[in-house]
Amino acid sequence: MPFFPDIPKIQFEGPKSKNPFAFKQYNPDEVIAGKSMREQFRFAAAYWHVMRNGLADPFGGPTALMPWDDQSNSVDNALKRADVFFEFINKMDIDYYCWHDRDISPELNDLSKSNAALEKVTDHLLGLQKEHGKKLLWGTACLFAHPRYSQGAGTSPSAEVFAYGAAQIKAAMDATMKLGGEGYTFWGGREGYSTLLNTDMKRELDHLAALLHLAVDYAKTIDFKGQFYIEPKPREPSTHQYDSDSAACLNFLRQYDLMDHFKLNLETNHATLAGHTMLHEMTVAIDANALGSVDANQGDELIGWDTDQFPTDIYLTTSIMMKVLEMGGFTTGGLNFDAKRRRESHDPSDLFHAHIGGMDAFARGLKIAAAIREDGRLQNFVDKRYESWNSGIGAKIESKSISLAQINDHVLATGEPTLTSGRQEMLENLINDFI
Ligand code: XLS
Ligand code: NI
Ligand code: NI
């Protein structure tokens, strides 16, 4: 029996459609910039938001209506949720999904019991994946919700807590492997600190790196070929999170010799919490050849919080897709809707509206980004802006074939440089012509 009986399979009806349960822009088979939209985006639904987020906020409890969920911590309830979830991604025509171990399967306060439950649930998920042709984009372990992790997992002051977290990661990696997951993510949920009065930062960072190395080594023993990701976030829940932004993560990976094994999973709302744009974070990652995947959402400029809203801002989706096209598209990664409905949007049908909106916004962003690239004026402007580096003094500096004294002679001979305008407003107008 269907859990969303009134909702049809969502189909592309084009921009003129007035049907709220149809795609207006996302046409999965339409080829844009050399690939079908389906392949360009590799959309994923986040199990934690779709199935487990009751939409509570710090001032009030859950509002989401989930008539299928008996609110128990049982394996049966977990199995039923999996059925509901697959009906949802089927109707949405979303090919991938992502989970934390404890979203799909209960935490039973005993590792062997929790692992046994995870085994049962993943057996069921594997069957559902095969039946519906769906794939796991990435898995991860929830190392931040249980009280044992209240002071961190990999960065806990307690070696026993670190060990528990490591064991939980082993099971989550096994489950990811079993489900053919294309990646495995580390988001440092509580890997940070609240006060330095009680914190040995150097030791905690050494431990976090040790944990990641343990995972890399374990992957080899089970022949897990998926991509590892780190997901930066600057604060919330910890006041100071160690993986605060792209640059901090890359520095950490380089310092601890992990660059060959990790890429970044970047989330828009985390970028803005870090005081950056998503464009900035993506640029930093791509320049280091380390952009792996994207958690697609957006924040609220008026609330300084990880509001995880569905991405509807066309300017934002355009800039993200410009970067994705620039790096040649996703390989192991994709666009995971790490996004939740507003607390007021409590109906199951709102799950559909939310994802339709995100997918349509990205479809428009892709079309606009492809058109801007095709047009070429923006790239030409940038190329021209740096053209003094292509020959003469610039080429000599770039190729390190000139000394400071020779540069001095050059300046004495040529005199005051002339600068051309940055033309920011003209370029903003150019972008708007496409939007
Ligand atoms: C929380 C994070 C989390 C990760 C997965 O802010 O975005 O959902 O994506 O642990
Ligand atoms: Ni995320
Ligand atoms: Ni987030």
Nearest ligand to the CA of 145 is 1
The reported pTM is 0.97
What residue owns the CA closest to ligand 1's atom 2?
A: 187
- SS3 helix, strand, coil % of the chain, rounded to 5? 50, 15, 40
Check residue 366 and give its pLDDT.
98
CA neighbor of 24 nearest in space, from 35, 10, 34: 10
Cα–ligand 2 centroid distance for 265 (angstroms): 8
- pLDDT score recorded for residue 38: 98
> What Å distances lie between residue 374 and 330, 379, 381, CA to CA?
19, 10, 14
Would you say the CB of residue 187 lies under 6 angstroms from ligand 1? yes
The b-or-e profile of 383-419 (16+ CB within 10 A means b, else e) is: eeeeeeeeeebeebeeeeeeeeeeeeeeeeeeeeeee
Nearest partner of 262 among 219, 296, 325, judged by Cα = 219
Atom of ligand 1 nearest to the CA of 236: 6
Atom in ligand 1 nearest the alpha carbon of residue 306: 6
Residue 186 CA to ligand 2 center (angstroms) comes to 10
What pLDDT shows up at residue 227?
98
Q: What is the CATH number of domain 11-375?
A: 3.20.20.150
State residue 148's pLDDT score: 98
- The residue ranges of every structural domain in the chain are 11-375, 390-434
Rounded Cα gap, residues 101 and 176, in angstroms: 9
Is residue 8 within 8 A of residue 21, CB to CB? The reply is: yes
Is 207 a pocket residue for ligand 1 (Cβ < 6 Å)? Answer: no
For residue 1, the model assigns a pLDDT of 75
Give nearest CA residue, ligand 1 atom 3.
Answer: 187
**Distance between CA atoms of residues 339 and 255, nearest Å:** 32
Q: What is the pLDDT of residues 155-170, one digit of tens each?
A: 999 999 999 999 999 9
Residue 295 Cβ contacting ligand 1 at under 6 Å: yes
pLDDT string in tens for the chain (435-residue length): 799 999 999 999 999 999 999 999 999 999 999 999 999 999 999 999 999 999 999 999 999 999 999 999 999 999 999 999 999 999 999 999 999 999 999 999 999 999 999 999 999 999 999 999 999 999 999 999 999 999 999 999 999 999 999 999 999 999 999 999 999 999 999 999 999 999 999 999 999 999 999 999 999 999 999 999 999 999 999 999 999 999 999 999 999 999 999 999 999 999 999 999 999 999 999 999 999 999 999 999 888 788 999 999 999 999 999 999 999 999 999 999 999 999 999 999 999 999 999 999 999 999 999 999 999 999 999 999 999 999 999 999 999 999 999 999 999 999 999 999 999 999 999 999 999
* Orientation angle between helical segments 278-287 and 314-326, nearest 10 degrees: 10
Hey, what amino acid is at 416?
E
Indicate which residue's Cα is closest to atom 5 of ligand 1. Answer: 187
Residue 362's pLDDT is 99
As a whole-number percent, the residues of the chain with pLDDT over 90 amount to: 98
**Which residues are designated catalytic?**
100, 103
